[in-house]
């Protein structure tokens, strides 16, 4: 069962997308609810706000423990940012995937776009909705780039961590969620 971190951001859109595709999900508001799920989605939103909301309930430690159990985590947009490597400027990032990112890399909200990415997933082509999207600026050697757009990594995986710079929940194509569950 999917669980969706429901503190801030597009959690309800993920819930509706999964429901539309016939997949069950649960909105997760407390770390102790992680024991009820097998896949955690950390949605897009505002990474700074999300990190502030996570702090009082020790979400950082709970998410790291969830990942260490080998359970799957999908993080989109702001979720990708908080799972990336900590930097001197952003020490609170969780470091669950060996990437560095640049926030809002494509500009303001008005610069949002939809792209079709080259996919290694057998999904052709993958529609990507980018809203104030981050850019992956550095990829560690153990990280696999699954989808790219104009040479930029857009969907990446390291072991049980899958991250997307785009909003998977906004695409009408449900094949990505199917791939996530069955691969």
| Tens-digit pLDDT profile for residues 69-125 | 999 999 999 999 999 999 887 788 999 999 999 886 666 666 666 777 766 666 667
What is the pLDDT confidence band of residue 20, given thresholds at 50, 70 and 90?
A: confident
Q: How far is CA 6 from CA 59, 75, 87, in A?
A: 12, 13, 25
Is 58 in contact with 34 (CB distance < 8 Å)? no
Residue in 14, 15, 77, 130 annotated catalytic: 77
Total residue count of the chain as it appears in this document? 183
Q: Is residue 130 flagged as an active site residue? A: no
**Of 90, 102, 10, 99, nearest to 51 (Cα)?**
90
**Averaged over 144-170, what is the pLDDT?**
92
Residue in 15, 169, 174, 178 annotated catalytic: 169
Eight-class DSSP state of 70: T
Q: Is residue 169 flagged as an active site residue? A: yes
Is 102 in contact with 138 (CB distance < 8 Å)? no
Q: Is residue 167 flagged as an active site residue? A: yes
34-38, 61-65, 126-130: which range is least confident on average?
Answer: 126-130
Residue in 135, 167, 174, 178 annotated catalytic: 167
Mean pLDDT (the chain) is: 88
**Of 178, 177, 142, 136, nearest to 155 (Cα)?**
136
Q: What is the pLDDT of residue 147?
A: 87
């Amino acid at each position: 069962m999917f669980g969706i971190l429901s503190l801030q951001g597009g959690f309800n859109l993920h819930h509706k997308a999964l429901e539309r595709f016939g997949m069950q999900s649960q909105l997760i508001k407390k770390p102790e609810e992680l024991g009820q799920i097998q896949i955690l989605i950390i949605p897009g939103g505002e990474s700074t706000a999300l990190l502030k909301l996570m702090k009082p309930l020790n979400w950082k430690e709970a998410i790291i423990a969830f990942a260490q159990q080998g359970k799957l985590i999908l993080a989109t947009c702001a979720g990708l940012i908080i799972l990336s490597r900590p930097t001197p400027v952003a020490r609170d990032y969780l470091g669950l995937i060996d990437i560095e990112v640049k926030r809002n890399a494509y500009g303001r909200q008005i610069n949002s776009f939809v792209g079709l990415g080259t996919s290694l997933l057998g999904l052709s082509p993958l529609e990507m909705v980018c809203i104030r999207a981050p850019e992956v600026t550095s990829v560690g050697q153990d990280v696999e780039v699954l989808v790219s757009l104009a040479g930029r990594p857009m969907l990446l995986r390291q072991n049980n961590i899958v991250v997307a710079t785009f909003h998977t929940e906004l695409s009408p194509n449900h094949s990505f969620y199917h791939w996530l569950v069955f691969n």
